Chains A and B, each alone.
Chain A
Amino acid sequence: MSGHHIISLKYLLGAATALVVLTIITVGASFIEIPRPFDLIVALSLAFGKATVVAAIFMGLIWDKKINTMALLFSLLFFIIMIGITLLDTLYRDVPFWIYS
């Protein structure tokens, strides 16, 4: 049954290799001059890639009950809600709302 899935060595070692390679790419990318917003996007995409490998293989989400994956995605969703709505304030502090201007 899914709860007792044994992850094969091939997957575990493969995941570790992928993570190290992605780390090297992340560090390497930081030395290349990428214009401002894109350097952050590249770094974060690589971080999300690594996070997916850890969650999917090391934490066994691929073989696990879907509810656990949902829990993780929910935490992400609510983090996005929190930062997204907070930014609506902090980024627009000095901007008058269009109806009033």
Chain B
Amino acid sequence: MANQNATHGESHVAHHFVDSEQQLDSSKLGMWLFLVTEVLFFGGLFVAYIVYRAWNPELFYMSAKELSTTLGAINTVVLIGSSLTIALAVRAAQLNQRALLSRYLIVTILLACVFLVIKYFEYTSKFAVGILPGEFYTYEGIDHPGAPIFFSIYYMMTGLHGLHVIIGIGLMVYLVVKARAGTYTAAYYTPVEVTALYWHLVDLIWIFLFPLLYLIE
């Protein structure tokens, strides 16, 4: 470890890379491959969704009515906004605008928190009437023998998505701390770039969750 980077002009290029171009390209490909695993990870839940929806179309139409389209739509717009701000944060890093970089990151974090707060109110209003996952389901408003299955899938999909939002917030807080310390420059902003990719994926998943869970008429 001792002799790494010793004679390098660009200090952020690790010893086994030729230059920063190769390093950034590698990191981005690595992140994209990770996103592939994320897509297939959520994919399992989408498969469950499709299988059960094909079996119980009526149940899904009835259950989706319990969810608030307004709150879902607001959250969609919030996430789109956060995707825009983190893309702007990457741009700021590329243009060496350090103050702007941390400001955009903070706005993104705030938007992510708004998303979670709205999600919290949605969850608690469902819990209050006994719409809980699986065997704890006690709600009687839906007259269907398989009634719990829609909300089990709903909670797992949105719960897993929410977990990704929380992880994203953690990553961005780390980025803000580092950005304040002046770590990221136009020559080195790989962590910002790959975190942004991750965050866009969180947005992408929600883009599919919203019509599939909230907008079934």
Binary B-proximity of A60-101 (CB < 8 A = 1, otherwise 0): 000011011001101110110011001100110000000000
Chain A residues 40 to 58 lying within 8 A of chain B, measured CB to CB, are 40, 43-44, 46-47, 50-51, 54-55, 58
Contact B25 A65 (CB under 8 A): yes
Contact B21 A47 (CB under 8 A): no
Contact A27 B77 (CB under 8 A): no
A10 CA to B61 CA in the complex, in Å? Answer: 40
Chain A proximity of B85: nearest CB distance (Å): 9
Pairs across A and B, CB under 8 Å, 10 listed? A23-B73, A26-B211, A27-B215, A34-B217, A54-B83, A55-B204, A58-B84, A59-B200, A65-B28, A82-B40
Contact B39 A6 (CB under 8 A): no
Residues of B bordering A, CB below 8 Å: 21, 24-25, 28-29, 32-33, 35-36, 39-40, 43-44, 46-47, 50-51, 54-55, 57, 69, 73, 76-77, 80-81, 83-84, 87-88, 90-91, 94-95, 196-197, 200, 203-204, 207-208, 210-212, 215-217
Tell me the nearest residue of chain A to B55, going by C-beta: A90
Contact B87 A30 (CB under 8 A): no
Which residues of chain A have C-beta atoms less than 8 A from B80's C-beta? 16, 19-20, 23
Which residues of chain A have C-beta atoms less than 8 A from B55's C-beta? 90
Which residues of chain A have C-beta atoms less than 8 A from B84's C-beta? 12-13, 15-16, 58
Which residues of chain B have C-beta atoms less than 8 A from A13's C-beta? 84
Which residues of chain A have C-beta atoms less than 8 A from B43's C-beta? 75, 78-79, 82-83
Chain B proximity of A10: nearest CB distance (Å): 12
Known contacts A30-B217, A79-B43: A47-B208 contact under CB 8 Å: yes
Most buried by A among B35, B40, B207: B207
A43 CA to B135 CA in the complex, in Å? Answer: 31
Partner of A82, one of B21, B36, B47, B203: B47
Tell me the nearest residue of chain B to A46, going by C-beta: B211
Tell me the nearest residue of chain B to A74, going by C-beta: B36
Partner of B200, one of A44, A58, A64, A79: A58
Contact A68 B32 (CB under 8 A): yes
Tell me the nearest residue of chain A to B90, going by C-beta: A7
Contact A76 B76 (CB under 8 A): no
Chain B proximity of A59: nearest CB distance (Å): 5
Known contacts A30-B215, A47-B208, A75-B35: A20-B47 contact under CB 8 Å: no
Contact A71 B35 (CB under 8 A): yes
A31 CA to B50 CA in the complex, in Å? Answer: 22
A5 CA to B112 CA in the complex, in Å? Answer: 26
A52 CA to B52 CA in the complex, in Å? Answer: 27
Which residues of chain B have C-beta atoms less than 8 A from A76's C-beta? 39
Which residues of chain A have C-beta atoms less than 8 A from B57's C-beta? 36
A15 CA to B46 CA in the complex, in Å? Answer: 26
